Amino acid sequence: MTDQHTPQDPTDQYPQPPYGEQQQPHPGYTESMSPRPDHGEKTYVGSEKLKGRKAVITGADSGIGRAVAIAFAREGADVVLSYLREEEEDAEEAARLVREAGRTAVKIPGNLAEESECLRLIDEAVAELGGLDLLVNVAGFQMARPGGIAEISTEEFDHTFKTNVYSMFWLCKAALPHLKPGSSIINTHSIQAYQPTPSLLAYASTKGAILNFTKGLAQDVAEEGIRVNAVAPGPIWTPLQPATQPEDKVDNFGADTPLGRAGQPAEVAPSYVFLASQESSFITGETIGVTGGRPLA
């Protein structure tokens, strides 16, 4: 892709499957992926839509989270990057790209499946940035179980909900006292909220909960001048896929979309920028689908 402004044929601006075998241990790492995901490193061009804003982005080390961090920085925002401690190498690269854009990058590792870590993240973010305007919840856990519900343990189901849903509740609750009118919360659910895949039962269930949580919270805080929206990605080429999906699924990942390929993180990030910016001032409680043509419902 040239950049996010130049018109291009969406069917061939990025590689199409097959992508080959490339299984990884969880949580997955960018360096081991082929083709390398595009996070907008060379393709995202900013225009000061978020000038002077202060943002927390979870899952910011790689994938969609890294793409959002790059885009926000190039739009003028300072960024706190939240990530798992074992993802330090990816997180440092994401932070470098934010700083390269001339913005502040603060790395705060931690396990968001724990309430105390969520509260610490917000406290440290506010202290480091001197306030907070934008909370972007991207981090999530998934694990494919081809055998369906019989293969999902109580521990795994609980961990999936703690990471994907409870963390969002804890982070939003902690962030709200710091958010002023004009601030935004942007959550991430998925096409799985509408079209659940049996092998992703636990993950899909959390995404349905996030969809409902977003709509309810948007109504709860609207009078405070705070907007809450969501982005629902389809198949996006991130380390989460080779780290959690069977080899045949990774090889043909995204082939079932009308555009015939997986999306790239850089193609998702502009939706977060729009929802964070003044351009979406009359939009709250809504979802933008980024699915390569697969319908959300």
pLDDT per residue as tens digits for the range 56-68 = 999 999 999 999 9
Distance of CA 263 to the CA centre of its chain: 13
Q: How far apart are CA 21 and CA 162, in angstroms?
A: 30
For residue 286, name the pLDDT band (cuts at 50, 70, 90): very high
CB 234 within 8 A of CB 200: no
Residue 270 in this model has a pLDDT that exceeds 80: yes
Q: Are 288 and 296 in contact (CB under 8 A)?
A: no
Q: Is residue 271's pLDDT more than 80?
A: yes
> Do the beta carbons of residue 53 and residue 76 sit within 8 Å?
yes
d(Cα 53, Cα 72) in Å, to the nearest integer?
9
| Of 83, 194, 203, 272, catalytic | 203
Q: Look up residue 130 and give its two tokens.
A: 């001197």
Q: What are the helix (H) ranges across 167-228?
A: 167-175, 201-221
Compute CA 73 distance to the chain's CA centroid, rounded to the nearest angstrom. 15
- What percentage of the chain's residues is helix, strand, coil (to nearest 5)? 45, 10, 45
Q: What pLDDT was estimated at residue 70?
A: 98
Residue range 276-288: average pLDDT?
Answer: 98
As a whole number of angstroms, the distance between CA 3 and CA 57 comes to: 23
pLDDT at residue number 223: 98
pLDDT band for position 268 (cuts 50, 70, 90): very high
pLDDT of residue 243: 81
* Known active-site residue 14: no
**Is the pLDDT confidence value at 296 over 80?**
yes
**pTM, two decimal places:** 0.94
**What is the predicted pLDDT for the residue at 25?**
80
User: Around Cβ 180, how many Cβ atoms within 10 Å?
Assistant: 11
